Structure 1
Amino acid sequence: MGRDVAPRTPVRTTCPYCGVGCGVLVERTVGGFRVRGDPEHPANRGRLCSKGAALGETLGEEGRLLRPVIGGRAVGWDEALDAVAAGFRRVIDAHGPDAVAFYVSGQLLTEDYYVANKLMKGFIGSANIDTNSRLCMSTPVAAQTQAFGEDAVPGCYEDPELADLVVLVGSNAAWTHPVLFQRLAAAREARPEMRVVVVDPRRTATCELADLHLPLRPGTDAFLFTGLFNHLRRHDALDWAYIEAHTEGFAATLEAARESCGSIPETALRCGLPEQDVAGFFRLFAAQERTVTLFSQGVNQSASGVDKVLAILNVHLATGRIGRPGMGPFSLTGQPNAMGGREVGGLATQLAAHMGFDDPEHVMRVGRFWNAPNMASRPGLKAVDLFRAVGGGRIKALWIMGTNPMVSMPDADTLRTALGRCELVVVSDCMADTDTLRQAHVRLPAATWGEREGTVTNSERCISRQRAFTEPPGDARPDWWIICQVARRMGFGGAFAYESPAEIFREHARLSGLDNGGNRAFDISALAPLDAEGYAALAPVQWPVTQERPEGTARLFGDGRFRHPGARGRLLPVVPGLPATATDGQWPLVLNTGRTRDQWHTMTRTARTARLTTHLPEPVAEIHPDDARAAGLADGMLVRVESPRGHVLVRARVSRAQRPGSVFVPIHWNDCHAGSARVGALVAPITDPVSGQPEFKHTPVAIRPWPGRWHAFLLTGEPVPAPPEADYWVRTRAAGHWRLELAGRSEAPDWHDWGRRQLGRVGEWLEFDDPGGGTYRAARVVAGRLRAALFVGPDHTLPPRDWLGGLFVGAALPEAARAALLAGRPAGGAESGPTVCACFGVGLNTLKETIRLRQLGSVEAVGAALQAGTGCGSCLPEIRALLPAQSTQNV
C-alpha cells in the first residue's frame, strides 16, 4: 500500500503535528530516516520545531497495531470489515440511521475525511459524524461563518511578518505553533519598530517576544475587545467609509459594547488588569493600521468562545483591517488537517464544500452530486452530545477514527462508562494500546504518517501533500481504504469504488466548484482535472484555486466583499458574561489546560522518542507561589488537583508565570503513560451554545499536598517493567534508558526482592538500605555498564535524575561515577539539570552556569558556546529568559 521503501531522493511531505503545516524532506539513512525542513515549502521555509525535527525517531513498528482484532482475537481484514459492516447495518435496520455515529480526527487526511463524511451523511443518512476539531476549532468556524458568511481565514502567514502590531490572544505560539512564532521573531528582529502584545492569563514562552503582556482574568477576553471597540469609536479610530460600504450591524454592535465596557477603567476592572496597560494596548491598536490578531485555544475553548471571537472580528471589521497585507484576524488551527476536515464537512453541523444544513438547496445539491440515497437533512450531534447519546443508549454503534477521546474529551471518566454500554465500538488506530482502544470491540490497524498518501490544509488555507515514503507494517491500511471497504460491504459499493486517494481528491475538488460562481470562498475546482501524475506532484497552494486564480489566493475579503447575501460582513453584538463556572470556598482555583513544548495530543507518537520526553518528563500542576504557600505546597511535591468530577495526581511546579488564583495542567498524559493524570477527567462537559466547543480553560478546582508514605524512581536500560502497586506512577523514555516514577500510600514493597525479580540478578548489585529512615538505593552494573538504578525515600526529595540518566550512555562507567552512584549525584556536584535544548541535550544548570561564567548576553552567544538553540529553535524563548533581564513593557 505504500511507496518506495528506500527513496533515492528526498520525499517531500508535510509534518503531522500542528496547524502550521510545515513541509519536510525525508530520506532513508542507515537504520532509519532523516527528516529536515523543506526550504521550498511556504509555511516553514526549512524551519522545524522540536517535534518535527524528531519525526524520524518516532517511526518503526514498536507499539503498532498490526492486525485487525475482534474481541481480543487477531483476524483477517475480510472478517473484520464484514463484522463492522454487519454491525452497523444491524443497528440501522433496527433503530434507524441516527443510532450510529462516527467520531473522526484532524489527524485524518482530507481524502479520509471526505469518504467518512460521504458515507455517513449521504448513504447511512445521518449527520452524526463529528470530529476532535470540535474541541479546538469549532468556535472560529461558527464565528467566521456568522461574520463573513463562510468559515474562511482571511489572511496568510506573511501578514504577521508585515504587521506593525501583532496581538496574540490565548495563544502560546512559541510552544504550540513554534515555526510561525520563529517567523514572527525573525520579522521583529528585522523590524524593531514592530510591536507585539500577548493577551494570556499565563506568562508563557510567547511573552518573551512581547512589548506588553496582559495577564487578564481568565474568561474575560470578550470584555477586553468590546472595551477596545468602544475606545476606537470614542477616539474616532474606526473606518467609517468601510463600515458604510462593506458591513452591517454596526449600531447594534456599538450599543452592546457601550453597555458592556464603556470605559478603560471599567474594562480594566472586568479583566483584572492595570488601567495603564489596558490604555497602552488600546492606544497601540488605534494607532497601527497594519494589525494582525492571532488567536487560538485560549479563546476558542470556552463556553462563550464564539462571543470572544466575534469581539475580535468586530474590531477588525469596524476598522477595515481585513484581507489586506499585514492586517486581519487570524485563527491558528490546532491540528495538521483541522482545516481540511472543515472543507469536507467533517463537523456534524456542516455539509461538504462549505455548504450547510441551513440552506435546503445545499442539501439537495450535495445529495445530487453524490447520488446519495439517504441524504441527511439536518445537523447531527456535536461531540459532547454525541458521547452523551452513546452513554444514554441512543447511539448503539460508534466508529472512532484516529483519535483518543478517552483522554481528550471533558468529563473523561464518564466516557469510559458510556463506551462500556455501547453495543458496538470500532476504533481505527495506528497504535496497539491507547485509552480508547481498550474500550473497543473491533480494532482496525490504520496507516500513519509516512505510510499514506493524501492532502492536508493548514491554518493559512494552504493545501499540501502528505506523501508515503515507507510501507505500512503488518496489515495496516489507509483510513480511506478501510472506510470504502466497509461502505462496499454495506451495499454502497458504486459510490465508494475509489482505487486511490487521487480519485477522492478530484471528486472533492469538483464538488467545491459545483454551482459556486464565487458564492463560496472555498473553491478548488481548478485542481479537479489533476491526473495521477499531477496529484503526485501537487505543490502547496492556498485556496481558492479557481480558473481565474489557478496559482491560489493568499488573502480573502480584501475587496470588502463577503459571502453573506449582499456581500457585506456582519458586525455582531457581543454581551460578555462571566465564565459558566465560578470558583468558591471549596473550589478556589481556576484550572487551565493546554499543551507543552515537546508533546503532542495524547503522546502516542511523541512519547516514542527520548528527545521529546526529557523537557517535561512528568505531568505537572503549575501554580503561583502565593497559592502554593496558601495550600502548603512546595516545588516538586506531589499534589492532588480535584474538581467535582475527578482528580489527578501530578508534580507541583511553583512559578510566577502563573496568574494568582490559577492552575495549569497539560493535556497530554493518559493511562498508558501515567497512573492518574488525565486532566480531562476534571473538566465539566459545558460547551458554547453555538459552537458546541467545551470549556477547557475555566474549571474550578482545589489543590492540596499528597503525602505519600514512600517515593521512588527507577532508571533502567531495558523497557520499564510492570510497576509495583502504586498510587502514582509515570513511565517515560529517556536517552539510553527508561524512567519510572513511583509513589504510594500503602506499605512499600520489599525493594530488594522487587528489584531482583523485575530487573534480573545478572551482574553486580550495589545497594544501600536504611529501613528505619525509609531509604533504599540500588544499582545494577553489568560488564562495567550501568543497567538499572533504583532510589527510594520517604518524601519527594530524591536525587536529581539527570546525572544518573547520563550514565546509561557510554561504553562503561567511569570509576568516579561508580563511586558516586548511590549518592545520586557526581562527586564534584556538577549536574546539567533538566533538559532545555532537546536537539543537543543541554540542561538548565549548564545554561545558567555558562551564561554566568562567560557573561553571555544573546542567544547567538549561547548557541556558539553550547549549540543550544541552534537546532530547531524551539528552546530559544527559554534561553532568552535566562539572559540578563529585559523589559517587556515598552508600550
Structure 2
Amino acid sequence: MARTVKTTCPYCGVGCGVLATRQPDGAVSVKGDPDHPANFGRLCSKGSALAETLSLDDRLLHPEINGARASWDEALDLVAARFSDAIAEHGPDSVAFYVSGQILTEDYYVANKLMKGFIGSANIDTNSRLCMASSVAGHRRAFGSDTVPGTYEDLEQADLVILTGSNLAWCHPVLFQRLEAAKAANPALRIVTIDPRRTATSALADLHLGLAPDTDVALFNGLLSYLSENGYLDEGYISRHTNGFEEALGAAGACDISRISEETGLSRQDIARFFDLAARTEKMVTVYSQGVNQSVTGTDKVNAILNVHLATGRIGRAGMGPFSVTGQPNAMGGREVGGLANMLAAHMALEDPAHRSLVQSFWQSPRIADRPGLKAVEMFRAVREGKIKALWIMATNPVDSLPDADGVAEALKLCPFVVVSDVTRAADTMDYAHVALPGAAWGEKDGTVTNSERRISRQRRFLELPGEARPDWWALSEVARRLGYADAFAYNGSAAIFREHAQLSAIGNGGTRDFDIGAMADLSAGAYEELPPFQWPARAGQSLHDSRFFARGGFFTPDRKARFIAVTPIELRKRERKYPFVLNTGRIRDQWHTMTRTGKTARLTSHIAEPFAEIHPEDAAALGLRDASLVEVKSSYGAVIVRAQISDRGNKGTVFVPMHWTDQFSSKGRVDAVVAPETDPHSGQPGSKFTPVSLKAVPARWYGFAVMEQKPELRGIDYWAIAPVANGFRLEFAGLEAADFTDLAGRLAGGTLAGAEITSFRDDASSTCRMAYWQDGKLRAALFFAREPVEVSRAWASGLLRLEAETPASRLRVLAGRPAADMPDNGALVCACYQIGANQILNAARGGACTTEAIGQLLKAGTNCGSCRSEIRGLIETVLTEEKTNDGIAKAG
C-alpha cells in the first residue's frame, strides 16, 4: 500500500512542504503540500524533481578509513582518538568542525554542544557563513538579536517590494510566485529590483536599478537623507524606540542625487523615482539576499537597509519591514543553535558571561568556549598554516564552495586528520578524507528545519537508511561518548534532542531573548512526530499570536531600543590593469550548490548544461570573443575556462559565472577557485560578488558535442562539461591542439562500443566530422566535431540515445544534427517542470497564445514554480516584435 509522508524540501530557505509518496515497489513521487503555509502546494523545478535524485549509484554506504571499508566502531574510535590526541597535545583550538545548512537542527545542536561545551572551543562554523552571516551581524548590531522581523505574508500585503541583491525568481521561486500572484491581485503594488544584472526577477519589476557592484550603502544612505530632508521620518518611532539616529544621518550626508548617481552609476532620474516611491509608499518591504550579504561591506549594507526601515517605523507591521531570505533549508536552524563560530546556542551571545554560564549550567558541561572561534575562511587558512590538526567536515563541499578553493584543497592536503561526513562519493572534498562517514540523506533524515520566516517544520523519514548510513547527530554522539561524555549525549532519537533544544531556549528567558520555543519543551515522541509547522517565538503558556517583531519596539538591546548604525560607503577597489573586470558569482535556476543532488537528474541539467561566463557585448567585442566560444576567467588566486555567453544583462566591465560546477561535471569550472578570500570585517562573510579578474579568449582548435550511453573517459581533453540525459550523458568538449577525430571518438566511446556499426560523415575542408555508433539497431553514441562551436540542436540530440533506425537514410538523419520535418525540435528547455522547449513556446505564441497565461493553458509551461515565466515573456516579445516588423514591411510594400 502506498504511504505518503509530510516532509520539507531540502533546497532553499523558503522551506516548502512536500508530500512524499512511496509505492510498494519502492518508487517515490513528490508534490507540494497544499497545507504547508510556506508554499500552499507549490514547488519549484528542483523540488518537483526530488524523486529523481534518490538513486544510490553515487552513495557512500559504509565508513571508510583511507579509502578502505571499515566498521563504524573502527572509524569512530579513530576519530575520537585523533581528536583527543590533538586536544591533549595542542589544546582545544587545534580541532574544528565545519558543518552545513544542509544538516538538521538536531544535528547542528549536538555538533555545537560537543564543540563549545565539551571540547571547549568555538571552532565550529558553517557554510551558512557564506550566505547570511552579514545579515546576522547587521541584525545583532541594530536589534541586539538575530531577528528576522517579518513573515512571507508581508510580501503579499505590501504596496512596494524592493528586491535588492536577490534574484528571487531563480533562487527562491515559490516565494517569487507568491509575489507575482500578489502583483496580479493588486495592480497598485510596485516592485523595484536593485542588482548589477537584469535577472529573471527584473522582468516583473516596475523599476530596475542596475547599480555598480558594492555601491548599495551609497544608495540607501541617500534614501535615508531624502526621507529626512522631505519630511518622511517617523519621529515618534525614532524617539521612543531607537538610539543613534543623528549619527547615522550625519554619516549618510546630504541627499545629493548627482553625487549618488556618480557613486552608483545609476541615472539621476531612476534614483529620484526610487526615492519618491520609497518615501510615499508606507507599506514597504525590502527583501535582500546574497547580493547584499556576500560583500566585504555586507554588514554595512544590511544596516543601511535597516536604518531606512527604523527611520520610518516601517517594521513589524503588516506589509512592512526588512526581510533577509536565506539560501539554505536550515540556515536559520543553525543560527538558532549557535552553529556559527561567534554565537552561542538559543540565540545567546558568546561574549556575554551570563549567557555562557547559563548554557554551561544547563549542559552540565566541564567547560564552555569563552571567545569566538575561527570563521570559515579563517578556519581553512588556519588548517593550511598547520594550526588545525583535526577537522570534521559535515554535509558540505568546501573544496568547491569556499573562496580561494584551490587554497582550501591545499589546506586539506596538508591537514593531519580530516573527517568527511557526506551522503555521496561524488564530492571533490571526499578526496581529502582520512575517514569518510556515510550520512543520512534527504528522505532518510528525521528532524526539523527553520525557514526564512522563522517557521520550524519537520523533515520526516520515508526511506530506510541504506547500507550503514547513519544520522549525523548519532555519529557526533558516538564520538562524544568515546571522548568521555556519554551521559550528556545519551540521545535515543531526534525528538529528545529537539526537546533539549526547546528547554534551553526558555531557560532564563522571560522575554529577554527573541528565540524561545519553550512551548515545545515537553513534547512527547508522538507529538514530535506529528508536529505541524509553527513560527517562533512559541513561549510556554502563551498562545501563538502575531509573530512579527518590533512594531512597538521591544528590541533585545540592554535598553530595549534599536540602534541606528552609522555607515559610510567604502572607496571601491580600483581595478588593476592586470585584472580590469569584476567577477560576480551566483546561482542558476535549476541547480543547487555544487550539484551533488541536482546534477543527478537530466530534467534539471537540461536548462543549462555547462558553466558559462556572461559578458557584456562591448567587452566581448574588444576581447575578440564570440558567443559559445571559450573564455578564461582569471584572478590572482585561480582560473576557470567556461563557455562565453554574450549578454547585455550585466554592466560593462562585469562578468557573471555560476557557482555550481565542480571537477565532477567540468574540466575547469570551479569558479570559487577564482574568488578572492576577502571578507567583511564584521561578519567574516566572503565577498563572492566582487573579485577583480581578467578575461582572455581560449584559442580552441576544434569543438565537440556528444551524446553517449556510457560515461566517457575524459582524461586528456582540454575542455569538457558533462551532464546526464535520458539513457546516458551529454558532453561538450574542445581541444587546443589538432586531433584525429576518428581516434578521439573511439577513445571517448571506449571498449563498450567495440564491434558497433558506425555511420559517419567527414568534410576535411571545414574540419567537420560526425559519427554515430549503433548496436542491436539502436543508437549508443553520436559525436559531432567542428572547427567552430558545434551547431547541433542539443535538446533534440539529447533524446536520441536508444533510437531505433534500421535504414542508412534514417541513420544519416542523426548526423544532420537537427530533426527532420516529421520529428519536431522542441528547442532549448525553458520549463523544467513540464519539459517545454523554446520552439514550442514560440510556435504557440505565433499561433495566438501571446500571454504567459495563454501559454500556460496551452502547454502548462510556467504554471508550476513560475521561475521560467520571464523567459516565456521574452519569447512572446520576440514573436510580437516579429509581427510588428512584418506588419511594417507589409504596409511599406
Q: TM-score range by the shorter chain?
A: over 0.9
Cα deviation, residue 809, structure 1? 6.5
State the TM-score, normalizing by the size of structure 1: 0.96
Alignment pair present for 1:610 and 2:602: yes
Q: Give the match for residue 144 of structure 1.
A: 139
In structure 1, what residue type is equivalent to 2:624?
G
Could you say which residue in structure 2 is the equivalent of 1:789?
A: 782
Aligned counterpart, 2:13 = 19
Amino acid aligned to 1:78: D
Q: Which residue of 2 aligns with 1:731?
A: 722
The answer as to 2:856 corresponding to 1:863 is yes
State the 4+ residue runs in structure 1 displaced beyond 6 angstroms: 813-816
Could you tell me how far 1:21 is from its partner in structure 2?
0.2
Deviation of the 1:807 alpha carbon: 2.1
Distance apart, 1:770 and its partner CA: 4.2
Question: For 1:393 and 1:218, how far apart are their aligned partners in 2?
Answer: 35
Q: Does 1:224 align with 2:196?
A: no
Q: Give the letter for the 1:215 counterpart.
A: G
CA–CA distance in structure 1, aligned partners of residues 265 and 694 of structure 2:
21
Q: Indicate the SS of the match to 1:273.
A: coil
Cα deviation, residue 753, structure 1? 3.7
Q: Deviations over 1:445-476 (max 9, x none)?
A: 00010001000000000000000000121111
Asked if structure 1 preserves the Cα contact closer than 8 Å seen for 2:63 and 2:437, the reply is: yes
Q: Identify the range of structure 1 (878-887 vs 737-746) with the bigger mean alpha-carbon deviation.
A: 878-887
Match of 1:161 among 156, 161, 166: 156
Which of 686, 704, 710 lines up with 2:696 in the alignment? 704
SS in 2 for 1:657: coil
* Residues 728 and 564 of structure 1: CA distance in aligned 2, closer, same or farther (over 3 Å): same
Q: Give 1:831's match in structure 2, choosing from 816, 825, 831.
A: 825
Q: CA deviation at 1:212?
A: 0.2
Counterpart of 1:643 (choices 635, 644, 662) is 635
From 664, 675, 682, the equivalent of 1:683 is 675
Give, in angstroms, the shift of residue 705 of structure 1.
1.1
Alpha-carbon offset, residue 78 of structure 1 = 0.6
TM-score (norm 2): 0.96
Q: Distance in 2 between matches of 1:208 and 1:346?
A: 37
Question: CA offset at residue 24 of structure 1?
Answer: 0.3
Match of 1:595 in 2: 587
What is the identity, as a one-letter code, of the residue corresponding to 1:336?
A: P
Q: Where do residues 326-345 of structure 1 align in structure 2 (5 Å cutoff)?
A: 326-345=319-338
1:360-399 mapped onto 2 (5 Å cutoff):
360-399=353-392
Partner residue, 2:889: none
Contact 1:58–1:605 (CA under 8 A) maintained in structure 2: yes
Change (3 A) 1:809 1:50: farther
Q: Is the 2:713–2:747 Cα contact (8 Å) retained in structure 1? A: no
Alignment partner of 1:807 is 2:775: no
> Could you give the per-residue CA deviations for residues 483-512 of structure 1, whole angstroms, max 9, x where no partner exists?
001110111111101010000000000000
Distance in 2 of aligned mates of 1:459 and 1:155: 9
Structure 1: which amino acid aligns with 2:155? P
Residue 434 (structure 2) pairs with residue 441 (structure 1): yes
Alignment of 1:712-727 (within 5 A): 712-718=704-710, 720-727=711-718
Where does 1:495-510 land on structure 2 (aligned, <5 Å)? 495-510=488-503
Partner of 1:779: 772
Deviation, structure 1 residue 872: 3.1
Shift of 1:747: 4.4
Deviates more, 1:268-277 or 1:733-742: 733-742
Task: Tell me the equivalent position of 2:233.
Answer: 238
For 1:307 and 1:633, the matched residues in 2 are separated by 37
- Structure 1's unaligned 5+ residue stretches are 1-5
| CA distance 1:855–1:85, change in 2 (3 Å) | same
Deviation readout 1:826-878 (Å, 9 max, x if unpaired): 24495322111112222223322331x21322112112332222333221221
Shift of residue 565, structure 1, vs aligned partner: 1.3
Distance change in 2, residues 1:800/1:256 (3 Å)? same
Distance 1:357 1:757 in 2: 58
Cα offset for 1:813?
A: 7.3
Amino acid at match of 1:466: Q
Does structure 1 residue 532 correspond to structure 2 residue 525?
yes
Alignment correspondent of 1:108: 103
2:838 pairs with 1:847: no
Q: Is the 8 A contact 2:135 2:302 kept in 1?
A: yes
C-alpha deviation, 1:268, in angstroms? 1.5
On the 8 A contact 1:452/1:466 being kept in 2, the answer is yes
Contact between 2:313 and 2:551, CA under 8 Å: does it hold in 1?
no
Verify: 1:121 aligned to 2:116, yes or no.
yes
In structure 2, the partner of 1:257 is 252
Q: In structure 2, how many angstroms separate the alpha carbons of the residues matched to 1:255 and 1:202? A: 31
Contact 1:543 1:552 in 2 (8 A): no
What amino acid maps onto 2:783 in structure 1? Answer: L
Deviations 1:549-595 (A, max 9, x none): 3436521112211111121111110111134x431322111110000
CA distance in 2, matches of 1:476, 1:70: 15
CA distance in 2 between partners of 1:520 and 1:187 (Å): 33
* 1:55 matches 2:50: yes
Q: CA deviation at 1:280?
A: 0.4
In 1, are the aligned partners of 2:780 and 2:802 still within 8 Å (CA)?
no
1:676-727 Cα deviation digits (max 9, x unpaired): 0111011111000000000001111111211122221220123x12114112
State the identity as a percent: 55
Q: Structure 2 CA distance, aligned partners of 1:813 and 1:520? A: 73
| Compared CA separation, residues 814 and 195, structure 1 to 2 (3 A) | farther
> Hey, what's the Cα distance between the residues in 1 that align with 2:484 and 2:693?
50
- Aligned partner of 1:568 among 557, 561, 572: 561
1:429 has 2:426 as partner: no
- Between stretches 761-770 and 611-620, larger displacement belongs to 761-770
Matches within 5 A, 1:154-233: 154-233=149-228
Secondary structure at the residue paired with 1:883?
helix
Q: CA deviation at 1:548?
A: 4.4
- For 2:469 and 2:29, locate their aligned partners in 1 and report how far apart those are by CA, in whole Å: 23
Distance in 2 of aligned mates of 1:57 and 1:813: 32
Check 1:159–1:814 CA distance in 2 against 1; reply closer, same or farther (3 A cut): farther
Which of these residues, 527, 548, 551, is aligned with residue 558 of structure 1? 551
Task: Give, in whole Å, the separation in 2 of the partners of 1:107 and 1:377.
Answer: 27
- Mean Cα displacement is larger for which, 878-887 or 854-863? 878-887
Say if 1:741 and 1:558 are closer, same or farther in 2 by CA, change over 3 A. Answer: same
Contact 2:705–2:785 (Cα < 8 Å) also in 1: yes
Task: Name the CA distance, whole Å, in 2 between partners of 1:410 and 1:446.
Answer: 25
With over 3 angstroms needed to count, the CA separation of the structure-2 counterparts of 1:864 and 1:96, relative to structure 1, is same
Q: Quote the Cα distance in structure 2 between the aligned partners of 1:884 and 1:436.
A: 44
Please give the secondary structure, in 1, of the residue aligned with 2:798.
Answer: helix
Residue equivalent to 2:273:
280
**For residue 833 of structure 1, what is the amino acid of its counterpart?**
G
Cα distance in 1 for partners of 2:301, 2:147 equals 17
How many residues are matched? 876
Are 1:655 and 2:647 an aligned pair? yes
Q: 1:114 to 1:495 in 2, by over 3 A?
A: same
Aligned 8 A contact 2:520 2:540 in 1: no
Q: Mean Cα displacement is larger for which, 280-289 or 740-749?
A: 740-749
Residue 521 of structure 1 pairs with residue 530 of structure 2: no
SS at match of 2:877: coil
Q: 1:411 aligns with which of 374, 389, 404?
A: 404
Instruction: Quickly say closer, same or farther: Cα 1:12–1:389, change in 2 above 3 A.
Output: same
Q: Does 2:573 align with 1:584?
A: no
The SS at the match of 2:754 is coil
Q: Shift of the alpha carbon at 1:315?
A: 0.3
Task: Give the AA of the match of 2:354.
Answer: E
Contact 2:285 2:323 in 1 (8 A): yes
